Structure 1
Amino acid sequence: MKKSLFPLLLGGLAIGTTEFVMMGLLPDIAANLNISIPVAGHLISSYALGVVVGAPLLVMIGGSYPPKKILLGLMVMFTVFNTASAFAPNNLMLLIARFFAGLPHGAFFGVGAVVASRLAEPGKQAQAISVMFAGLTIANLAMVPVATWVGHNYLWRYTFGIVALIGIITLLFLYLWMPALPANRTGNARSELQIFKSTETWLIILITAIGTSGLFCWISYIAPLMTEVSGFKSANVSYILVLAGFGMVVGNIIGGRLADKFRPVIATAWLLAAMAVTLLCIFLFSGNQILSLLLTFVAGALSIALAAPIQILMINTSKGAEMLGAGITQAAFNTGNAWGAFIGGIPISMGLGFNWPSLVGMLMAILGVGFTWVLIRRSTKVAV
């Protein structure tokens, strides 16, 4: 791994921790703030909404600045509002803090993806981007379980203090090791917005926002799924999240290699199809503890394997506005996050079991496959 990519990995670690730790802490936050688990799930949606708003907005505002300055500014914002999350006195203030903490998320990954591709060797752009997303996988393998354990056994507020500390460390390494690349804006905000006139752009947004929402239907409620359906003790949830994180480590490597070896759109189609099958199996077999653990690993792997192919797909489609395109992809991912957490909570609110969100997720993944098929048909004459 290039030294210059390490600050991006750290940023991915910080962002991945704050995004995914909420899934394991929902019962603890709900109990502490005296709200229901579906209502606590709105905290996931609030953060995701912040990503959706912040990704294109902050990229367009900062697009004329050198990438290093943009990344430093985004990480300062991230650290401040995660600190605010730790001190939020009630559910409303926590919702607001989570929204603002989400604003720099998509922009950081969007700018970081373009920076990684510029620093990569020819033909290895997706693998360079996967280094940044490796931070997400390490977060889920190590930091999320640790932070979940801390929040469950002590207080959930300490978790966000840990996230803020990682943010400070990320700032240090961005300052020390991130190369001072020049700004690479060839047009202006108005000209870059022309990418929204492309049908291909909207198809990728739909693939990302709807297809990946299936994942978030499942993972948003993984803690009660494992305790109420699979029959694990609450104390074991942290270890189960380690297993999901290990799956993400494996999936990130696979996704990066698939996107460099095959057309990203083809890799995306197969990964979404595999996700649909896996989510159906989670719905059917979560009552079996061994199968539940195996499916947790597989679903974790598929979740992050999609990241690099979809990111490269959008960058290739957004010529002249790559940074904005990459930021939009992150906004779409977190639209899927918010939408998945919301619709996944509907069957729970109706009194159905905690395995039902995965069935809803399967339907979303199938829709994603459908949009990918349309994109493949449109790209038969020009490779995407």
Structure 2
Amino acid sequence: MKKSLLALAAGAFALGAAEFVMMGILPQAAEAMHVSIPSAGHFISAYAIGVCAGTVILVFGRKIPPKRLILAFIVLIIIGNLLSALSLNAPMLIAARFIAGLPHGAFFGTATLIAKSVADPGKEAKAVSMMVTGQTVANMIGVPAGTLLAQHMSWRMTFAALSIWALLTLLLVALWVPDVAAIKDAGIAGQFRFLRRRGPWFILGAVFVGNTGIFCWWSYVSPWLIHIGGFSASVVPALMMLAGFGMVVGGLSGGMLTDNWRHAGTAALGQSISAIGLLLVFLIPGSAVSTGILTFWVAFGLFFISSPQQILMVEAGEGGGELIGGAAVQVAFNLGNAVGSLVGGIALADGGDYHLPALAGVPFAVFAVVLLIVYSWRHETHTGAINRLRQVHPEAIGSTPETTQV
């Protein structure tokens, strides 16, 4: 991995851990802030709102070179997590979580542009997948580690550790990430001009409904593992590491396929994997083996689609809207998470059957597949495959001139 991609992946790790670790330390944070568990859910939603609001940073930062933007985003990560660790009451923690979420979408939009710029020709999606790997590794290692740190020391130490990690990331980015030219200044309105076309809305719609479907079930994966899989609560962190490993493998696999095939086609394949997984979660009665396999399966599909969707939106925004396009994916992703959790909770409330949230998510996931297929069919006619063909010289393979091929 290039050092520049490693530095960006470190930033993605900080964001991924900051976003999801609150779910693991919610009881400790709620007790310390003297609020109920349902009220503590605002600590999670505040981050998601910050992700959406943070896109405004890119609107007014379009003239700033991408590297400087990344450095500014990491400073916000440090401030947000440090304030979270020092929060004295619930309103202060909500505000701190909002600040921590501000750089999330903007970071991934900008980091995608840089990753494409430093990638070897024809390996752009692989480079983006390596950057996104930081977020998947955060789910595999960072979130379980943060949860254990909260259980054995303090939930505040979890956020303090993330601040230290982000500080080290700031140094890595300053040293290793090269200067990349700022995007074309198309003006404030010009950054959104690409959204006048139908194509980008197909992609964003697929991101939104796809994640809505998956998070109908994923939001309640821990109790599902306990009640359906028969695992004890102490084993759940290990299974979350298994899910994180599925995300890592899925993200890298999706990146490699994207470089050699249609971007939207790759995303449709990954979304299909997740949709089938959700259907199996509903249909299979459940055992330790099946729940373990399906946890890996759905997590694999969830991040298989990450790189192609990020690249699709950056490419859709070419001409001044690249950063907005990349950030919009994260906004749609987080909105899908929030809606999926709500829909899954409604399904779960109807009898308390932990199979039902997965069933509720299937129509959303299937709709996402349809959107991606339609986009690929109508808007992705040029795959770039002809540019990847190489000439085979007959003397190199011992053939006659008549068998020369391209």
Q: Shorter-chain TM-score: which interval?
A: over 0.9
After superposition, give the CA deviation of every residue in 1:319-370 in whole Å (9 maximum; x if it has no partner). Answer: 2121221111121111112222232222345552344332222222112112
**Range that drifts further, 321-330 or 81-90:** 81-90
Residue of structure 2 in register with 1:124 after alignment: 123
After superposition, give the CA deviation of every residue in 1:165-218 in whole Å (9 maximum; x if it has no partner). Answer: 211111111112111223222422221211121111111111111112222223
Whether the aligned pair in 1 keeps the contact of 2:62 and 2:185 (CA below 8 Å) is: no
Specify every segment of 5 or more residues in structure 1 that has no aligned partner in the other structure, as ranges.
Answer: none
1:24 and 2:27 correspond: no
Residue of structure 1 in register with 2:239 after alignment: 240
Residue of structure 2 in register with 1:11 after alignment: 11
Residue of structure 1 in register with 2:154 after alignment: 155
Distance of 2:278 and 2:31 partners within structure 1: 28
What is the CA distance between 1:283 and its match in structure 2? Answer: 3.1
Q: Aligned AA for 1:4?
A: S
Distance of 1:42 and 1:161 partners within structure 2: 20
Q: Aligned AA for 2:370?
A: G
Distance of 2:312 and 2:92 partners within structure 1: 37
Residue of structure 1 in register with 2:353 after alignment: 353
Q: Aligned AA for 2:234?
A: A
CA shift in 2, pair 1:33/1:278, >3 Å: farther
Residue of structure 2 in register with 1:275 after alignment: 274
After superposition, give the CA deviation of every residue in 1:249-293 in whole Å (9 maximum; x if it has no partner). Answer: 111111101111110111111211111111122234474111111
Distance of 2:248 and 2:157 partners within structure 1: 26
Q: State the aligned residue count.
A: 383
1:214 and 2:217 correspond: no
Residue of structure 2 in register with 1:173 after alignment: 172
For the residue of structure 2 that corresponds to 1:251, the secondary structure is: helix
Residue of structure 1 in register with 2:397 after alignment: none
Residue of structure 2 in register with 1:202 after alignment: 201
What CA RMSD, in Å, does the superposition of the two structures yield over aligned residues?
Answer: 2.2
What is the CA distance between 1:97 and its match in structure 2? Answer: 2.3
Distance of 2:155 and 2:3 partners within structure 1: 33
Q: Aligned AA for 2:273?
A: A
What is the CA distance between 1:36 and its match in structure 2? Answer: 5.6
What is the CA distance between 1:311 and its match in structure 2? Answer: 0.9
Distance of 1:17 and 1:52 partners within structure 2: 18
What is the CA distance between 1:381 and its match in structure 2? Answer: 5.1
CA shift in 2, pair 1:312/1:118, >3 Å: same
**Range that drifts further, 176-185 or 115-124:** 176-185
Superposition map of 1:280-291 within 5 A:
280-285=279-284, 287-291=286-290
Q: Aligned AA for 1:332?
A: A
TM-score by length of 2: 0.88
Distance of 2:45 and 2:208 partners within structure 1: 13
CA shift in 2, pair 1:309/1:149, >3 Å: same
Residue of structure 1 in register with 2:52 after alignment: 52
Q: Aligned AA for 2:301?
A: L
Whether the aligned pair in 2 keeps the contact of 1:229 and 1:353 (CA below 8 Å) is: no
Residue of structure 1 in register with 2:299 after alignment: 300
Residue of structure 2 in register with 1:139 after alignment: 138
For the residue of structure 2 that corresponds to 1:65, the secondary structure is: coil
Q: Aligned AA for 2:253?
A: I
Distance of 2:285 and 2:171 partners within structure 1: 43
Residue of structure 2 in register with 1:375 after alignment: 375
Whether the aligned pair in 2 keeps the contact of 1:126 and 1:260 (CA below 8 Å) is: yes
TM-score by length of 1: 0.92
Structure index of larger Rg: 2
Whether the aligned pair in 1 keeps the contact of 2:343 and 2:360 (CA below 8 Å) is: yes
What is the CA distance between 1:135 and its match in structure 2? Answer: 0.5
Whether the aligned pair in 2 keeps the contact of 1:14 and 1:166 (CA below 8 Å) is: yes
Whether the aligned pair in 2 keeps the contact of 1:42 and 1:341 (CA below 8 Å) is: no
Residue of structure 1 in register with 2:337 after alignment: 337
**Range that drifts further, 116-125 or 31-40:** 31-40
Give % identity: 38
Q: Aligned AA for 1:363?
A: P
For the residue of structure 2 that corresponds to 1:179, the secondary structure is: coil
Q: Aligned AA for 1:236?
A: V
Q: Aligned AA for 2:372?
A: T
Whether the aligned pair in 1 keeps the contact of 2:258 and 2:266 (CA below 8 Å) is: yes
**Range that drifts further, 214-223 or 174-183:** 214-223
Residue of structure 1 in register with 2:399 after alignment: none
After superposition, give the CA deviation of every residue in 1:129-168 in whole Å (9 maximum; x if it has no partner). Answer: 1111110122122211111222233332322222112111
For the residue of structure 2 that corresponds to 1:261, the secondary structure is: coil
Q: Aligned AA for 1:345?
A: G
CA shift in 2, pair 1:256/1:246, >3 Å: same
Q: Aligned AA for 1:46?
A: A
Whether the aligned pair in 2 keeps the contact of 1:12 and 1:135 (CA below 8 Å) is: yes
Q: Aligned AA for 1:61?
A: F
